[in-house]
Amino acid sequence: MARPLEFYSEPLPGVDPSELQGKLIVIEGPDAVGRSTQIARLRGWLQQKGHAVMDTGMARSALAAKGIRQAKQGNTLGPLTMTLFYTTDFADQLENQIIPALRAGFVVLTDRYFFSIMARGTARGADPKWIEQVVANIALVPHAVYYLRAEVPDLVSRVLIGRGAFDYWESGMDMRFGKDMYESFVHYQGRILRALDRMAKQYGFQVIDAGRPPDRIFLELQAGISRLFAGSSPA
């Protein structure tokens, strides 16, 4: 049986955590690790089980998503501006999408959480304590955080096989971590992994070896999430 939801710090004004009857499940991990694939499969599986499901992720808020996309097209975002932009996106989604869905009893599957905002900011040289104070103070404690972890060479293979090219931002090219996209991707994603590894211990992530076939990863996620619903019925 899952524990009641609570905030990391003081509850947001007007939000009573005891009214949030849904489940908040986070899938974390670096770029190209397969989070979106697993979330799509989990959504279908949970719906078949009779649960109402909402899935969300970074840069999907009504307030900030369009601005983030436009700014990234011009490659004009500085590290601090990027962190604040994504923090605004997270806060808007939390207040206007995640909390209402939880209040209605939905299972909320989120493709990354504020942990990725912290990891990206830290990788770009920001003070992790500052980011934590800005973002974590408004956040709900998830029922579970599943950290899909793969080594950088695996991520490189997935990018080359799945997409055929590296993404400017996923390679950290705004910070020029290497002489080309490949080298920058390797260094930047290594920084992301080190930041997430530290948070895995601090926040109690459940680490899943994402270097295995997707079906085996899905089975492990199913087993973990099933335990959250033990003894309860769909909303």
Per-residue pLDDT tens listing for the chain (235 residues):
678 999 999 888 999 999 999 999 999 999 999 999 999 999 999 999 999 999 999 999 999 999 999 888 876 678 888 899 999 999 999 999 999 999 999 999 999 999 999 999 999 998 888 888 888 889 999 999 999 999 999 999 999 999 899 999 999 999 999 999 999 999 999 999 999 999 999 999 999 999 999 999 999 999 999 999 986 656 5
Evaluated on CA atoms 208, 213, 217, 223, the torsion sign reads negative
Looking at residue 57, what is its pLDDT?
96
| The predicted structure's pLDDT at residue 133 | 86
In a domain, 12, yes or no: no
Given this model, what pLDDT does residue 235 score? 52
Q: Which two tokens stand for residue 106?
A: 């939905």
d(CA 190, CA 185): 8
Asked if residue 233 is part of any domain, the answer here is no
Separation of first and last alpha carbons in the chain: 14
Which residue from 101, 100, 65 is spatially nearest to 85, judged by alpha carbons? 65
Q: What is the CA radius of gyration of the chain?
A: 17
Domain count, the chain: 1
User: Domain containing 53 — which CATH number?
Assistant: 3.40.50.300
Domain of residue 142: give its range: 24-228
Would residue 75 count as lying in a domain? yes
CB-based contact 83:121 (threshold 8 Å)? yes
156 within a domain of the structure (yes/no) = yes
Identify whether 10 is part of a domain: no
With respect to residue 53, please indicate whether it lies within any of the assigned structural domains: yes
Q: 179 Cβ partners below 8 Å, 6+ apart?
A: none
Task: Flag whether 14 is in a domain.
Answer: no
Query: How many beta carbons lie within 10 A of that of residue 138, not counting itself?
Result: 18
CB atoms within 10 A of CB 69: 10
Chain CA centroid to CA 49, Å: 24
Strands (E), the chain: 23-28, 53-57, 107-111, 144-149, 206-209
Q: Which residues pair with 208 in a beta bridge?
A: 148
Residue written as token pair 């770009």: 124
Q: What is the pLDDT of residue 234?
A: 63
Task: Specify whether the CB–CB gap between 188 and 168 falls below 8 A.
Answer: no
CA of 25: how far to CAs of 11, 182, 233, in Å?
19, 32, 17
Give the span between the Cα atoms of 149 and 136, in whole angstroms. Answer: 22
Instruction: Establish if 180 belongs to a structural domain.
Output: yes
Q: Give residue 232's pLDDT.
A: 66
